[in-house]
Chains A and B, each alone.
Chain A
Amino acid sequence: MSIQATATDLLTIEGLGHVYEGTEPFEAIGKLDFTVPEGAFVSIVGPSGCGKTTMLRCLSGLMKPTRGEVRLEGEPVTGVPRDLALVFQDYSRSLFPWRTVAGNIAYVLPRDLPKAERAARVQESLDAVGLGEAGAKYPWQLSGGMQQRVAIARALAYRPAILLMDEPFASVDAQTRAELEDLMLAVREQFGMTILFVTHDIDESVYLADRVLVLSKSPSTIVESLDVDLPRPRDQVSTRELDDFVHLRSHIARLIRDQSMKGRPAA
């Protein structure tokens, strides 16, 4: 199930760089070059503040990068492409407090969707994240982890072809996290989505992905791009026991440690 050589590149990122203007301009992204094949699951790890959120905003077309280009199926991305969804890192502020949980999800579905199907999709996606009972509540009546899952459910109900996720499991407990990881693998199989997944958790990045991109500190570049050739379907226990898994995670952990040591006075 690794990335096939024949798979076409869905996303092409070429010379992407971003400088935040202001009184003190800040170069968040140095130069990124990579491609994402159709149907791939790509994890992105890197130190905090290295520009992962910035990168996702550029990829999704929400923000115009100051340098370089993002192409989707060969076409330059100018606005947010149809069929693309983004789960924001700041999940609580991306949910609409004036709508119920179910309302938040239903509202992003296309207008012409029949009512019954709309309701079915809302319920289905809520069930998938384990919030089947919470539809009538308001987001502010839920815990942080539950709100995060609502944001995930909303993106899933939208059924995008490309799903960008910005540390989507940051505030859920370990058990729920494992369930959500397997959910992501399942929906990827079921709908053939292409997923870009930003995370702080190295094990998670390896467990989920076909490829892991390790970013450097700002201005960020790609330190290494690792193909993950672990067998699928993956399993929370046995996959994590494989030698390959252990080696990969250790290797990435070392890369990240080296990154964060850089620039610090030697001990």
Chain B
Amino acid sequence: MKVSSSVDTVSLATPPRPTRRRPANGSRRLKDFAVRWGALLAIGLVWELAARLADNLFFPPPSRIIERFFELWLSGPPTTFFLTESVATNIMPSLARLLGGWAAAVVFGVLLGVAIGRSKVVGDYVEPIIHFVRAIPPPALIPVFFILLGFGNEMRVTLIAFAVIWPVVLNTIDGVRSVEQLHLDTGRVFEFDWRKRFFGIVLPSASPKIFAGMRVALSVAIIMMVISEMVGRPDGIGNIILGAQRTYRMDDMWAGILLLGILGYVLNAILSAVESRITRWHRGSREGVS
């Protein structure tokens, strides 16, 4: 059990984070920035050049993809902040089911993880089941969810939630099992009720692990969102990509892929920012500031 859960803990999607925040001087920061974006720009230029030379229908130049990206989603009227109707009909539903499924998985995953991790009885009964169920690749369950929940939104949200709940559960179990015994004893001495114990000791202790699980869950959620949208009722970003590919609208397909990349990057950045605020104490206490 330890082995498998630590695999999830070593998150797939750990973003490159500065391990230590130093008041970097202006030129250093500028250099960092230049290196990071310069590399991306260089790759973009090479790709652009290669694509233009090859002139292949399936590989349009990036400039064309970006142009199409703007046409599709950012050429609306000022009243809607330049967002087009496709944003409302395709991107918003995708985002909603992505975040909905993920959020549901986080809430239920943390509750389940706490129950399993803190109660021996629940743990003994439920943990083996969890390890079995999570071993099933979620896409294999799409037909089952079809039958149970139909072809629409419920199926997709459920599929996403089901796929991403496991890293949250396993990391939460790990986190709550490593709660400092002396913290719990302190809670007992000072008469903490269950609310104080849960929100004041167990949850904060486990929060670094829980966030690691949430990050893995987020990246898997995006994957599951796309997969779920390639089947069933046609809407969402996954459907745009698949539909475009089937009708040889390669610009649209690539614009959709670019959109997914941006979406994943931005969501991850937001989560990392929240995480680094909430678990600041964790890094601080481990660095041993004096």
A residues touching B (Cβ–Cβ < 8 Å)?
A: 60, 62, 79-80, 82, 84-86, 88, 90, 93-94, 96-98, 107-108, 138-141, 143, 158
Q: For B182, list chain A residues within 8 Å (CB).
A: 88, 90, 93-94
- Contacting A98 at CB < 8 Å: which of B185, B196, B204? B204
Number of B residues with CB within 8 Å of any CB on chain A:
22
20 A-B pairs, CB-CB below 8 angstroms? Answer: A60-B189, A62-B189, A80-B188, A86-B189, A88-B182, A88-B185, A93-B182, A94-B183, A94-B186, A96-B186, A96-B201, A97-B282, A97-B285, A98-B281, A107-B196, A107-B200, A138-B281, A138-B284, A141-B284, A141-B290
B234 to chain A, nearest CB (A): 46
Main secondary structure of the interface of A (DSSP, over half): loop
Near A by CB (< 8 A), chain B positions 261-290 give 281-282, 284-285, 288-290
B residues touching A (Cβ–Cβ < 8 Å)?
A: 180, 182-183, 185-186, 188-191, 196, 200-201, 204-205, 207, 281-282, 284-285, 288-290
Known A-B contacts A138-B284, A140-B281, A143-B290; A96 and B188 likewise in contact (beta carbons under 8 Å): no
B284 touches A84 (CB 8 A): no
Q: For A85, list chain B residues within 8 Å (CB).
A: 189-190
Known A-B contacts A88-B182, A93-B182, A143-B290; A62 and B285 likewise in contact (beta carbons under 8 Å): no
B129 to chain A, nearest CB (A): 31
Q: For A88, list chain B residues within 8 Å (CB).
A: 182, 185-186
Q: For A97, list chain B residues within 8 Å (CB).
A: 281-282, 284-285
B178 to chain A, nearest CB (A): 13
B284 touches A140 (CB 8 A): yes
Main secondary structure of the interface of B (DSSP, over half): helix
Q: For A62, list chain B residues within 8 Å (CB).
A: 185, 188-189
B166 to chain A, nearest CB (A): 26
For A83, give the chain B residue with the smallest CB separation: B191
A85 to B285, CA, bound (A): 25
Please count the residue pairs between chain A and chain B whose beta carbons lie under 8 angstroms apart in the complex.
56
A94 to B185, CA, bound (A): 8
Known A-B contacts A80-B189, A85-B189, A90-B182; A96 and B204 likewise in contact (beta carbons under 8 Å): yes
A10 to chain B, nearest CB (A): 17
Across the A-B interface, the 6 shortest Cβ-Cβ residue pairs: A108-B190, A140-B285, A97-B285, A98-B204, A98-B281, A93-B182
For B181, give the chain A residue with the smallest CB separation: A93
Given contacts A60-B189, A86-B189, A88-B185, 9 further A-B contacts (CB under 8 A): A82-B191, A93-B182, A94-B182, A94-B185, A97-B282, A97-B285, A98-B282, A140-B285, A140-B288
A141 to B285, CA, bound (A): 8
Q: For A86, list chain B residues within 8 Å (CB).
A: 189
A12 to chain B, nearest CB (A): 21
Q: For B201, list chain A residues within 8 Å (CB).
A: 96
B204 touches A93 (CB 8 A): no
A233 to B22, CA, bound (A): 52
Q: For A96, list chain B residues within 8 Å (CB).
A: 183, 186, 200-201, 204
Q: For B207, list chain A residues within 8 Å (CB).
A: 98
A243 to B281, CA, bound (A): 51
Q: For A60, list chain B residues within 8 Å (CB).
A: 189
B282 to chain A, nearest CB (A): 7
A84 touches B189 (CB 8 A): yes
A169 to chain B, nearest CB (A): 19
Q: For B196, list chain A residues within 8 Å (CB).
A: 107
For B208, give the chain A residue with the smallest CB separation: A98
For B191, give the chain A residue with the smallest CB separation: A82
A84 to B200, CA, bound (A): 20
